[in-house]
Amino acid sequence: MTSFYHLLVSLEQKLGAVLLPIDHDAADAKRLISSNAAFLELTRSAAAEIFLENGCKTKDDPVTLFPTLDALGRIKREQRDREVLDLVAADLLEQIGAAVIEVLSHKARASRHLVPSSGARLQRDIARS
C-alpha cells in the first residue's frame, strides 16, 4: 500500500515542486506541504482532507484511491459552494485527481477488498467537530 507521505511525494514528482512542494523534513503530516506552494491554502486543505478521509494518524499510514478521490471532490465542492473556486484552482484539483488515479489505481486493481471505509468517514467527521 502507498502511504500518505509517499502519495504526496509522488504528486510532487508528477505535478512539480511549484504546485505541490513537499517538506521532506517535516515530522508533522500537517506541515508536509511546504509554505512555498503556489496554492498553499488549497493544497494544504486537499492534503488534510485526504489524510482525514483515509483515517490516517501519521504520515506513514496507508491511503487508498476512492477515499482520496472523495476528499478531493469534497474540497472542490466546498470551494465552489463558497464561490472561491476559480478556473485555475479547479484545474489544479483536476490535475491532482488525475495524478492520484495514476499513482493509486494500480494498487486498487491489485486489491479485491475495495470498500469505502465508513469508519474513516466517522473518524473524519469526529475530527472536524
Render pLDDT for 109-128 as a digit per residue (tens, 0 to 9): 555 454 455 555 555 665 66
pTM of the model: 0.80
φ/ψ of residue 25, rounded to 5: -95, -5
Does residue 10 carry a pLDDT above 80? yes
Between residues 110 and 65, which one has the greater pLDDT? 65
Domain spans, the chain = 2-128
